């Protein structure tokens, strides 16, 4: 994913009112369920996600396959 697409897409999901959970899918197949907006930070084509266990998953725009709305299957 390009840096501009990554930043624009992630920003639009984070700013939705009301907030709706979404999934960040990495090219290695991992899926990150973002269910709270304050658990993600981004800048300069990279980002990080804080897990419920307080671990951090770092990713760059090149590692992103897709950012999409969460479905019921992903949320369970």
pLDDT reported for residue 37: 95
pLDDT reported for residue 21: 97
Domain regions of the chain by residue span: 3-75
Regions of the chain with pLDDT less than 50: 75-76
> What pTM was computed for the model?
0.88
The H or E element that residue 50 is part of is: strand 46-50
pLDDT tens digits, 4-16: 999 999 999 999 9
Tell me the CATH class for 3-75.
mainly beta
Strand ranges of the sheet holding 46-50, from the earlier edge strand across to the other edge: 40-43, 46-50, 56-60
Selection from 23, 21, 19, 27 nearest residue 1 by Cα? 27
pLDDT reported for residue 72: 59
pLDDT reported for residue 71: 83
């Amino acid at each position: 994913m390009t840096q501009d697409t990554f930043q624009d897409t992630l920003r639009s999901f984070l700013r939705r009112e009301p907030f709706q959970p979404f999934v960040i899918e990495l090219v290695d197949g991992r899926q990150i369920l973002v269910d709270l907006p304050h658990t993600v930070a981004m800048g300069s084509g990279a980002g990080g996600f804080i897990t419920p266990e307080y671990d951090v998953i770092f990713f760059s725009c090149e590692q992103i396959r897709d950012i999409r709305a969460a479905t019921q299957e992903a949320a369970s």
